C-alpha cells in the first residue's frame, strides 16, 4: 500500500498531464481493494466481514474502467473521455456494487456465504450469474485498454517503449494472479491474492513515473497532432482507397469542393472530384485543375501520393489541392511587366538615344546618353529578375559547373577587354542549378563595372565540400558600400533606404531560390569577396528552386 500510495501522489501531482486523473483513480481503487481485505480479515463478526467484502467491490469494478480511460487518454484518444461514455461504462460496475450490498436479497453475485475459515476469511460459494458477467466485463475492458498501450512498444522513442512495457507488466501482474485464483490453482485458503499482486503493479507504476517519465513525456499529442495537421493544413487533402472511394478529407478540401463531409465519406471519388479520370495514380497532374464554374472557378495544382501498407501494396492515395490562382495572376503581371521592360522602355530609350546623338559635342547630350543607357541596363536587370522568379515554379535543369561558369565569365569579359578575370574549376562533373547563371554573371559584371581602375582584376575560385559548391568572387575595386549591404540584410527597401540597382538583389534572390547562402566580406587591401554556397545536384535531381513557395 505504501508503494501504491507513493505512485498515487506522484500521479496526482501530474494531473494536468494526459492520463493522470484515470491513473489516480486506478491506483486509489487498488489501494481501496487492499484496504478492504485487511479490514475484512481483522473484522470480529461475520456481518462485518461480509460488509468489507462487499465494499471491496467498489475498488474491484473501478479498476478496469479507470484503466480503459487511462489507456485512451494517454495515447491521445481523449475524444472518448466524455461524461456520456464514462457513465455508459459505469453502469455495469454500479450495478455490481448494488448487487454486492444487497446480496442478502438475491443470489446474483454470490450463491451464498458458506462460513468463515479458521483464519477468519469469509468463504463464499461463488458462481452467481452476475459474478461471471462482471468478470468478463473486467477482462474485456482490460484487453481493449491494453491494445493502444501495446502500440507504443513499436515507437521510435525509447521512453514510450519503456512506458508501454511498464504499463503492460503493471496490468498483467494482478490480472494473471486473479485468473489463477479463480481457476482454483493457488492454495490461498479463500483469500483473493490479487491485491497482493498490486504491490508489483505499484512498483512498476512508480518506476514508470520516475524512470520513464510516465506523465512527463506523453505520446498523447502524436495522434491529435497528425489529425490536426491534416484537418488544418492550408491546402486541400482527400484520402481515397484502392477502389477510389473517399475515406477522409480535411476542412480545406470541404471548402474547396463545396460539399458536406458527412455526405461524401464513402462516396465514389469520381462523383465528387471534377475530372477525376485525369488525375495520375501517383505524382503531379500536368497543368492544373479548375474547380467551380467558369466565372467562380479556381485553378489548383493537384498532387497524388500513393499510400502503401507494410508489404508495399498500394491501399489508397492522398490527393492534395494547392490553389495557384494568385500565382497565375502574379505570372500574368510579370509577363506584362516583362513586355514593358523588354519593348516599351527599350523603344523609348532608343528614340532618346537617337535624338541626343546629333549633339556629339554637347556635355548635356552626353549626360542624357549615359542616363539613357543606364535606364536600358535597369530594364535588362528587371527582365533577368522576372525570369529568375519564373524559375521558382518552372523547372531549371541541373547544369555542369565548368562550362556554365566559363560562359558567365566570358560573356562579362567581352564588355571590358581591359579587365582580367582569373578562375579555377573543381575537378569532376559538378552540377548546380541552371538558374544561377544571372547570379554569377552579375557578380563578375559588378566587380568589373564598379572598379574605376584601368586594369580591374577579378578572381573566381571554386571548391566542393561534400554536397555543397562554394564559389568566391573577389575584386580589387572600392568595395560595396555599407548602405547597399544593409539593404540586402534587411531584405527590403524604403524611400530613404534603398540600393542603387538590381544587380545585388538578383544575386541574393537567385542564391535563395537555389537553396544556398551568400556572404560579403572585405578583400585585402581593397575590394570585396562575395561567397556563394549552393547545393550540388545530380543529373536527375530537381533543384530546391523547383519547390513552389506560393
Percent of the chain with pLDDT over 90: 8
Pick from 323, 355, 380: which residue ends a domain?
Answer: 323
Tell me: do 8 and 93 sit in the same domain: yes
Average pLDDT along the chain: 77
Tell me: do 376 and 399 sit in the same domain: no
- Asked if residue 312 is part of any domain, the answer here is yes
What CATH number has the domain bearing residue 303? 3.30.450.20
What CATH number has the domain bearing residue 470? 3.30.565.10
Tell me: do 512 and 471 sit in the same domain: yes
Exposure of 547 by Cβ count < 10 A (0-12 exposed, 13-18 middle, 19+ buried)?
exposed
**Tens-place pLDDT, residues 491-505:** 665 554 555 667 788
Tell me: do 158 and 12 sit in the same domain: yes
- What is the spatial distance between Cα 246 and Cα 336, in angstroms, rounded to a whole number? 42
Tell me: do 46 and 60 sit in the same domain: yes
pLDDT class of 547 with cuts at 50, 70, 90: very low
Q: How high is the pLDDT of residue 390? A: 65
**Tens-place pLDDT, residues 456-480:** 888 888 888 888 889 898 888 888 8
328 pLDDT higher than 50: yes
Q: How high is the pLDDT of residue 165? A: 76
- What is the spatial distance between Cα 348 and Cα 354, in angstroms, rounded to a whole number? 10
Q: How high is the pLDDT of residue 132? A: 86
Q: How high is the pLDDT of residue 364? A: 76
Tell me: do 399 and 385 sit in the same domain: no
Tell me: do 85 and 112 sit in the same domain: yes
Cα–Cα distances in Å, from 142 out to 31, 66, 70, 91, 127? 18, 10, 11, 17, 21
- Asked if residue 227 is part of any domain, the answer here is no
Cα–Cα distances in Å, from 173 out to 21, 193, 196, 205, 305? 22, 11, 10, 12, 45
Tell me: do 304 and 451 sit in the same domain: no
Instruction: State the cell numbers at 58.
Output: 467498489
Overall pTM > 0.75: no
Expressed as residue numbers, the domain containing 299 is 233-323
Q: How high is the pLDDT of residue 140? A: 92
Tell me: do 332 and 319 sit in the same domain: no
Helix axes 482-490, 503-513, angle to 10 degrees: 40
Pick from 323, 356, 378: which residue ends a domain?
Answer: 323
**Tens-place pLDDT, residues 311-327:** 788 889 999 998 888 77
Q: How far apart are the first and last CA of the chain?
A: 61
247 pLDDT higher than 80: yes
304 pLDDT higher than 90: yes
The pairing of beta strand 398-400 with beta strand 431-433: antiparallel
**Tens-place pLDDT, residues 511-522:** 888 888 888 888
pLDDT class of 438 with cuts at 50, 70, 90: confident
Q: How high is the pLDDT of residue 89? A: 92
- Asked if residue 468 is part of any domain, the answer here is yes
257 pLDDT higher than 80: yes
pLDDT class of 544 with cuts at 50, 70, 90: very low
- Asked if residue 228 is part of any domain, the answer here is no
**Tens-place pLDDT, residues 445-457:** 888 877 888 788 8
| Number of folded domains that form the chain | 4
Tell me: do 317 and 337 sit in the same domain: no
- Asked if residue 354 is part of any domain, the answer here is yes
Q: How high is the pLDDT of residue 184? A: 66
Q: Out of 69-73, 174-178, 514-518, 531-535, which region has the weakest mean confidence (pLDDT)?
A: 174-178
**Tens-place pLDDT, residues 162-216:** 777 777 777 777 777 777 776 666 665 556 666 666 666 666 766 666 666 666 5
Tell me: do 386 and 423 sit in the same domain: no
Tell me: do 200 and 262 sit in the same domain: no
Pick from 277, 294, 323: which residue ends a domain?
Answer: 323
Amino acid at each position: 500500500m505504501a508503494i501504491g500510495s507513493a505512485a498515487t501522489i506522484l500521479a496526482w501531482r501530474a494531473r494536468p498531464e494526459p492520463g493522470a486523473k484515470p491513473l489516480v483513480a486506478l491506483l486509489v481503487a487498488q489501494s481501496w481493494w487492499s484496504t478492504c481485505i485487511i479490514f475484512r480479515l481483522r473484522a470480529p463478526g461475520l456481518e462485518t466481514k461480509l460488509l468489507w467484502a462487499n465494499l471491496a467491490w467498489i475498488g474491484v469494478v473501478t479498476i478496469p474502467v479507470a484503466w480503459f480511460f487511462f489507456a485512451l487518454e494517454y495515447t491521445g484518444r481523449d475524444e472518448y473521455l466524455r461524461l456520456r461514455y464514462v457513465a455508459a461504462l459505469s453502469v455495469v460496475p454500479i450495478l455490481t456494487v448494488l448487487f454486492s450490498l444487497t446480496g442478502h436479497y438475491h443470489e446474483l453475485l454470490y450463491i451464498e456465504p458458506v462460513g468463515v475459515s479458521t483464519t477468519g476469511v469469509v468463504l463464499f460459494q461463488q458462481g452467481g450469474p452476475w459474478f461471471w458477467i462482471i468478470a468478463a466485463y473486467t477482462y474485456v475492458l482490460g484487453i481493449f485498454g491494453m491494445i493502444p498501450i501495446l502500440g507504443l512498444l513499436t515507437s521510435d522513442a525509447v521512453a514510450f517503449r519503456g512506458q508501454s512495457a511498464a504499463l503492460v507488466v503493471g496490468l498483467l501482474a494482478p490480472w494473471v494472479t486473479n485468473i489463477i485464483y479463480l481457476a482454483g490453482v493457488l492454495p490461498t485458503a479463500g483469500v483473493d491474492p490479487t491485491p497482493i499482486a498490486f504491490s508489483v503493479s505499484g512498483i512498476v507504476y512508480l518506476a514508470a513515473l520516475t524512470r520513464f517519465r510516465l506523465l512527463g513525456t506523453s505520446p498523447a499529442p502524436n495522434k491529435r497532432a497528425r489529425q490536426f495537421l491534416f484537418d488544418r493544413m492550408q491546402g486541400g487533402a482527400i484520402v481515397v482507397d484502392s477502389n477510389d472511394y473517399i475515406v477522409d478529407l480535411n476542412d480545406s478540401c470541404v471548402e474547396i469542393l463545396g460539399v458536406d463531409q458527412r455526405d461524401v465519406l464513402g462516396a465514389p471519388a469520381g462523383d465528387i472530384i471534377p475530372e477525376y479520370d485525369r488525375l495520375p495514380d501517383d505524382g503531379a497532374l500536368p497543368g492544373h485543375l479548375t474547380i467551380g464554374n467558369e466565372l467562380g472557378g479556381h485553378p489548383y495544382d493537384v498532387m497524388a501520393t500513393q499510400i502503401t501498407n507494410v508489404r508495399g501494396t498500394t491501399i489508397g492515395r492522398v490527393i492534395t489541392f494547392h490553389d495557384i490562382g494568385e500565382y497565375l495572376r502574379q505570372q500574368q503581371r510579370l509577363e506584362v511587366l516583362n513586355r514593358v521592360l523588354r519593348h516599351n522602355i527599350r523603344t523609348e530609350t532608343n528614340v532618346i538615344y537617337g535624338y541626343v546623338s546629333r549633339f556629339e559635342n554637347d556635355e548635356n547630350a552626353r549626360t542624357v546618353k549615359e542616363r539613357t543607357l543606364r535606364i536600358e541596363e535597369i530594364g535588362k536587370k528587371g527582365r533577368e529578375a522576372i525570369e529568375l522568379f519564373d524559375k521558382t515554379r518552372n523547372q531549371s535543369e541541373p547544369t555542369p559547373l565548368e562550362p556554365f561558369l566559363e560562359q558567365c565569365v566570358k560573356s562579362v569579359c567581352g564588355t571590358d577587354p581591359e579587365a582580367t578575370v582569373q578562375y579555377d574549376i573543381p575537378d569532376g562533373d559538378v552540377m548546380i542549378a541552371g538558374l544561377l547563371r544571372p547570379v554569377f554573371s552579375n557578380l563578375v559584371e559588378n566587380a568589373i563595372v564598379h572598379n574605376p581602375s584601368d586594369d580591374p582584376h577579378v578572381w573566381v575560385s571554386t571548391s566542393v565540400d561534400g554536397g555543397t559548391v562554394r564559389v568566391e568572387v573577389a575584386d580589387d575595386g572600392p568595395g560595396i558600400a555599407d548602405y547597399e549591404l544593409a539593404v540586402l540584410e534587411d531584405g527590403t527597401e524604403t524611400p530613404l533606404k534603398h540600393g542603387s540597382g538590381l544587380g545585388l538583389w538578383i544575386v541574393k534572390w537567385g542564391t535563395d531560390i537555389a537553396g544556398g547562402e551568400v556572404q560579403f566580406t572585405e578583400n585585402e587591401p581593397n575590394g570585396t569577396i562575395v561567397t556563394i554556397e549552393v547545393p550540388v545536384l545530380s543529373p536527375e535531381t530537381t533543384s530546391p528552386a523547383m519547390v513552389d513557395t506560393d
